[in-house]
A and B are shown apart, each in its own frame.
Chain A
Amino acid sequence: MKNEKEQIDLLLRQNESEQLAGVNWNRLQTSISKRLSQADHSKTSTIKYRRVFKIAAGIAAIAAVVFIAVIIKTDTPPTVRFENGGKAIVTFIESKGSAKVEILDSNKQGNQGKDQSTWIIIRTSEPKVADNGQSRDENDFACLM
């Protein structure tokens, strides 16, 4: 009498033989081949879609970079460079109208050899506030740098 281990192995082998005996190998190979062809097709499609997606992503990335660059450039206040090497950032409160800019004593040495403050006067062509009878200088802006 065979031991249980051998009997178990025998049962598994018996079932395996019975199952394999009925396999139609040609049919199985054809089925596999068909599945491989489908896989081939979807693989090609995936590669194609992946390529299109990559191109689209590239275009989107370039567009985003350009857009950000334009936004940054638009938002950055313009810098005014002076003849003596100084510079100032100008922020426009209003985009309409015009103003005359005058810089006074930019290089002048003050008392005790210290640099003297520079005054900038910005004079608008029209008073911002309605003329109230006082000097129009009230509507000019004086800055101490």
Chain B
Amino acid sequence: MNGNPKTNTDGIERLVKASQTGDRASFDELVGLYQRRAIQVAVRMLGDADEAAEAVQNGFVKAYLSIDKLKEPKRFEAWFIRIIANTAISQRRAARGRAEKIKISGDCESKKVFTPEQKEAGKELKEEIQRVMLKLSKKQAQAIALIGIEELPRDEVAEIMGCSTESVKWYVFKARQKLKVLLKDYLE
């Protein structure tokens, strides 16, 4: 189940409430509904689906363990994406370490979610995006990643990031400035 979670807010609220009472099956349903959005956010921040999958798994565990602290079940999506974004941010350092390791050993070990063929496709761009995203500050990376997700309005991005919409605009502007320099070989 990977439908658009926005289409059924009442159902989501019900699932969140049930999860808060310890209903694991309801949380599993939330996983089905939000895994696509979660990985989308994490991929945009980390540049790599394997790293993103790791962040998403950790993020879901964090959300599961702290869902009883969510006071407004209606705001689950913003709350959850914030968890994913923060988890991805804290994984950036680990991703950087792993990228260095791969560079040294020349070993590009295939992980679980991709076939080797799929890994080859777009590898160069992926590595470049990974590299440049690590050069952005945490807030800049979050802002440019979240603002690019079409279904996320700017005020929701601000809520996720815990700042004003003006600040979001500023972070996006600064991120684009940096990316313009870092990705100049890819720009016409």
Contact = CB atoms under 8 A, between A and B. Distances in A.
A29 B31 contact: yes
B134 interface: no
A50 to B, nearest CB: 14
Nearest to B63: A36
A25 interface: yes
A22 B125 CA distance: 15
A49 to B, nearest CB: 16
Interface string A96-117: 0000000000000000000000
A8 B176 contact: yes
Interface of B: 2, 24, 27-28, 31-32, 35-36, 39-40, 43-44, 47-49, 52-53, 56-58, 60-61, 64-65, 112-115, 118-119, 121-122, 125-126, 129, 144-145, 148, 176, 179-180, 183, 186-188
B62 to A, nearest CB: 9
B119 A28 contact: no
26 contacts: A5-B176, A9-B148, A12-B129, A12-B148, A15-B47, A16-B148, A18-B126, A19-B43, A19-B48, A20-B36, A20-B39, A20-B40, A22-B118, A22-B121, A23-B53, A24-B112, A25-B35, A29-B31, A29-B32, A31-B57, A32-B35, A33-B31, A35-B61, A36-B61, A36-B64, A40-B24
A19 B119 CA distance: 8
Contacts of A15: 43, 47, 122, 125-126, 129
Nearest to B41: A16
Contact of B65 (A7, A9, A39): A39
Interface in A31-46: 31-33, 35-36, 39-40, 43
Looking at chain B's contact residues, is the secondary structure mostly helix, strand, loop, or mixed? helix
Contacts of B56: 28, 32
Q: Is the interface of A mostly helix, strand, loop or mixed?
A: helix
Contacts of B126: 15, 18-19
Contacts of B112: 24, 27, 31
Q: Give the interface centre of A7, A11, A12, A29 by most chain B CB atoms within 10 Å.
A: A12
Contacts of A39: 61, 64-65
A22 B57 contact: no
Contacts of B129: 11-12, 15
Given A12-B144, A36-B60, A25 B179 contact: no
Interface in A118-143: none
Nearest to B2: A25
Nearest to A14: B125
A1 interface: yes
B24 A11 contact: no
A145 interface: no
Contacts of B119: 22
A18 to B, nearest CB: 4
